[in-house]
Amino acid sequence: DTEVTQTPKHLVMGMTNKKSLKCEQHMGHRAMYWYKQKAKKPPELMFVYSYEKLSINESVPSRFSPECPNSSLLNLHLHALQPEDSALYLCASSHNHLAGGLARNTQYFGPGTRLTVL
Amino acid sequence: AQKITQTQPGMFVQEKEAVTLDCTYDTSDPSYGLFWYKQPSSGEMIFLIYQGSYDQQNATEGRYSLNFQKARKSANLVISASQLGDSAMYFCAMRHNQFYFGTGTSLTVIP
Residue of A41, A42, A105 with shortest CB distance to B95? A105
| A72–chain B nearest CA distance, Å | 19
Tens digit of each residue's pLDDT (9 = 90 or more) over A67-79? 999 999 999 999 9
Q: Is A106's CB within 8 Å of B35's CB?
A: yes
DSSP state of B77: E
Q: How far apart are the first and last CA of chain B?
A: 39
Which residues touch B75 (CB under 8 Å, ≥6 apart)?
B23, B24, B25, B34, B36, B51, B66, B67, B68, B69, B92
Contact B59, B38 (CB under 8 A): no
Mean pLDDT of chain A: 92
Q: Is the separation of the CB atoms in A45 and A51 below 8 Å?
A: no
Q: CB B103 to CB A92 under 8 A?
A: no
User: CB within 8 A of B69, min separation 6: which ones?
Assistant: B75, B76
- Which pLDDT score is estimated for A78? 97
Question: Which residues sit opposite A23 in a β-bridge?
Answer: A6, A74
Interchain CB contact of A41 with B (< 8 Å)? yes
A32 with A74: CB under 8 angstroms?
yes
Which residue of chain A comes nearest to B35, CA vs CA? A106
Check whether A19 has a pLDDT greater than 60: yes
Lowest mean pLDDT among A87-91, A96-100, B58-62: A96-100
DSSP state of A59: S
Residues of chain B with Cβ-Cβ distance to A107 below 8 Å are: 35, 47, 99
| pLDDT(A1) > 90 | no
Type of residue at B91: F
